[in-house]
Every structure is written in structure tokens, then in C-alpha cells.
Amino acid sequence: MQRLTTSSLLDVIGELFSDEVSIAVTSTTEYIYYRPSLRVDLKIRPGDPIKEGTLADKAIVSEQKVSEFIDRQIYGVPYHGMAVPFHYNNELEGCVMAIYPALTEGKSVITVKTSDGWKPLSFHDVLYLEVKERKTWVVTKQFTGIHRKALQEFEYTLPREYFIRCHRSFIVNVNHITHIYPDTHSTFLLAMDNGDQLPVSQSYSSYFRKLLGF
């Protein structure tokens, strides 16, 4: 088999993602690869410097995974995304980013499927989202419905000030957590104001603690 170049390999990997995800790779100072999606294009070119306040800048400066919303002031397009720094021989080399389109401005509901139609649920009322039986369940105190999006898509589009990924199967609305308990299996257990308990898995515990400040 002929050897793949880094760029062609990234193009192939990019085909595994949906048309909504743009992919970028940076050094510590500039972009070295960019593959736009059909839904969001930041008009980045290889060789462009990393701008202050972007996901790439935050990941490079903190040397930690960053996942958040970036407003339109930097690229003229609002977007959600995740940037993960990478190292070689313990030296920071750059980061890899997945970039998602932002929610339509003013949208503050999740519309779920019901037995006879659809029901919009306010962000404020949503307690958590759970993946089970290959479906995404959206839970409020009065209602539980199904949404077609995968949990990973919600992770990049829900407002960060409300929702945090705490487990491979859960995204939680922090405004509905009443108590956080240590747990030997899941690191933490979250007591919700409807009586449910949600796990915080080991892979998300550090990120969860950092965002909640404990």
C-alpha cells in the first residue's frame, strides 16, 4: 500500500464524520490543516495564525481539552467545538479541533418526538439527556421524549452554562443538581432534583470538577 500523506489521511478520517463537522489541525502558532463542512466554514487557510480567543488558542494556552461556544466576533460565524492539544516527547506540538455549527440564534428548546407529534422542551426544564437502547432520551420532571441526534452532537450545541457531559451516556443540566456524592465506581454520583441519580465517570471527572469548581 502506498504511504498516505498526513493531509490525505486527515481527509479520509474526515469522511467518517457528518457533513456538519469541520476539522482543523494546528501547530502552536498556526493552522496546518483545515477541512470545512457543509454547515460551518470558518474560512481558515493553512498558514493562518491562531487568533486569540479561539478554541485553538485556548487549548494551546491551557494545554487541556477545551469544549465551548465561540461567538461571531472572531470569524464572523458563531460555532461550537472541541480542541484537544497533542504532545511529542512531552513537548506541546499543537491541537486537533472538531468544529460544529452553532444553534440558530434565539433557539432555546429541544424538540422531542412524542407518540402523536413533537414537543418543544425548554433548556431550563431539561434535567439531563441519556443514551440507552441506541436512542437519546431527553428528561424533564414532567416528560421524557426521544431525539434523533446523538449525544455527541448535543455536547457541542447545548449551552455550556447549563449542560456538561458527565458520562459517555449522560449530559446533565447543572442547574438541577442538588448534591454531588463520591462514588467508588463512577467517581461521583449526582443527585437530581427529580430524585434520579446520575454517574460521573472517571474519564469525565476531572473535566466535571474543573467546570463546577470543586
Domain range annotation of the chain: 6-101, 109-212
> Is the CATH number 1.10.3720.10 carried by domain 109-212?
no
Residue 144 has pLDDT above 60, yes or no: yes
Return the higher-pLDDT residue of 198 and 151.
198
Residue 196 has pLDDT above 90, yes or no: yes
Stretch among 12-16, 166-170, 189-193 having the lowest mean pLDDT: 12-16
The mean predicted confidence, pLDDT, of the chain is 85
The model's pTM: 0.55
pLDDT interval class at 186 (50, 70, 90): low
Taking residues 26-30, report their average pLDDT.
94
DSSP string, the chain: -PPPPHHHHHHHHHTTS-TT-EEEEE-SSBEEEEE--SS------TTPBPPTTSHHHHHHHHTS-EEEEE-TTTTSS-EEEEEEEEEETTEEEEEEEEEEEPPPTT--EEEEEETTEEEEEEGGG--EEEEETTEEEEE-SS-EEEESS-HHHHHHHS-TTTEEEEETTEEEEGGGEEEEEEETTTEEEEEETTS-EEEE-HHHHHHHHHHHT-
For residue range 88-136, list pLDDT tens digits in order. Answer: 888 999 999 988 876 544 468 899 988 888 999 999 999 999 999 889 9
For residue range 33-89, list pLDDT tens digits in order. Answer: 998 887 788 999 999 999 998 889 999 999 998 888 787 788 887 788 889 999 988
Of the options 3.30.450.20, 3.40.50.1400, 3.40.50.2000, 2.40.30.10, the CATH number for the domain spanning 6-101: 3.30.450.20
